[in-house]
Amino acid sequence: MYNIYYIERASLDTLYNRLKENYKVFSPVVKESDTKKIDYHYQNLAEGQPLVYNTYRTVEPLKTFFTYPYEKVTDYFTPQKNIIDVIDKTIIFGVKSCDISGHKVQDFVFLEGVEADVLYRLRRENIIFISSDCTDFKEVCHCLAWDILPHPTEGFDLNLSPLNDGYLVEVGSQKGEELIQQHQEYFVPAKGVQISARKNKRENFMERLKRHILPQNLVSKDIVQRLVKEGYNLDTWQQFMLSCVECGGCNLICDTCHCFLLADKKDGSKNAKVRMWDSCQYANFAKVAGGANPLKRRTQRLRNRFMKKFDFFVDNLGFPACCGCGRCIEVCPGKIDIREVLKDLAKKPKP
């Protein structure tokens, strides 16, 4: 069990700026959005500005710090040289519980299996998560449907919970504890009464969130695999596909989607292999030489997205690859809502 500390608001701002001396620090900034609520985006801000506390998740998924939309992954035929000696020590503020849950899928894909992805592993080792409790939500937020709480309980290095004129800081890892020790002048051990106050605040927020989520009667974690399997031949896929414009946004913005395209690039006189985020909603995703394509139709591709999240990952990882962040709902120009697709499967009689 790690410790819990308390830090004053002003001290956190000072610390936030001091950390920039030794780390690349990303934190949320506010951007007006066309929805009713503001959006938060990660930014590497110049020194001297206060830390913005994001009340809910950012627009960008957490994976964006670990694999990039487009990046070179290797040269050709050069000695086993690291293209990665320059990994910045990085701190990310404002990570939310959904992001951390979703990120377990990225860790599973890139760190586990036959061999680990070295690039990913080095980034993982050099990035510190300073997460924080949600104190508000967006309409699309539905973490609770997947039994994910709106405050992180694991997987963070430090977690901030706002309390009066400061924050409770829970330590979640050795890296987190070390960071506190290096800057101990800013922290005092949390008092029991503060920890009880955090519990109350969390419970109150949870009640608010439940009032938003429970009436939606969303599909739950324990039945979702059965639903997508039994619903394989339902017309749900066809029906929801109709507004899909194949932009791939749902995959690209997803905290758990990890697919990428490995391609070759002429890099001046040298050649390189590049990796790009890919989407199973693109027509050529599964196409092979000669033209065969097991995901030829949009209906098959939309279904593929759900089978991957709710069947494949339940079998391989033990839980569904959806963290309820709702980013795919917000981004979709066709207004395809993952919650509604699952609800449709649930309400239709299965063959």
Q: Which spans of this chain sit near another protein (rule: CB under 8 A)?
A: 73-77, 80, 82-83, 109-110, 113-119, 121, 232, 258-267, 271-273, 275, 278, 280, 285-294, 296, 300, 304, 308, 311-312, 315-316
Nearer to another protein, 136 or 246 (CB): 246
Coil vs helix vs strand at 293: coil
CB environment 26-35: b (16+ within 10 A), e (fewer): bbbbeeeeee
- Rounded-to-5 percentages of helix, strand, coil across the chain: 40, 20, 45
Q: Are 193 and 223 in contact (CB under 8 A)?
A: no
Shortest reach from residue 286's CB to another protein, in Å: 5
Instruction: Say how many CA atoms lie within 13 Å of 301 toward its Cβ.
Output: 24
Task: Say which amino acid occupies 22.
Answer: N
Output the smallest distance, CB 170 to another protein, in A: 32
Residue with smaller CB distance to another protein, 16 or 120: 120
Which residue number, 156 or 285, has a Cβ lying nearer to another protein? 285
Contact 158, 190 (CB under 8 A): no
Residue 334 CA to residue 315 CA, distance in Å, equals 30
Distance between CA 63 and CA 117 in Å, rounded? 14
Q: Whole-angstrom Cα distance, residue 346 to residue 335?
A: 19
What's the closest the beta carbon of residue 273 comes to another protein, in angstroms? 5
Contact between residue 98 and residue 131 where contact means Cβ atoms under 8 Å apart: no
Q: Alpha helices, DSSP H only, in 61-166? A: 97-111, 118-126
Residue 70 or 184: the one with the smaller Cβ distance to another protein is 70
Is 68 or 186 the residue whose CB approaches another protein more closely?
Answer: 68
Spacing of C-alpha 181 from chain mean position: 28
Question: Which CB, 46 or 77, lies closer to another protein?
Answer: 77
Nearest approach in angstroms of CB 78 to another protein is 8
Instruction: Work out how close the CB of 202 gets to another protein at its nearest, in angstroms, rounded to a whole number.
Output: 36
- Whichever of 130 and 254 has its CB closer to another protein, that residue is 254
CB of 13: closest distance to another protein in angstroms?
38
CB of 49 to another protein, least distance (A): 37
Would you say how long the chain is, in residues?
351
Alpha-carbon distances, residue 33 vs 59, 212, 251 (angstroms): 10, 21, 21
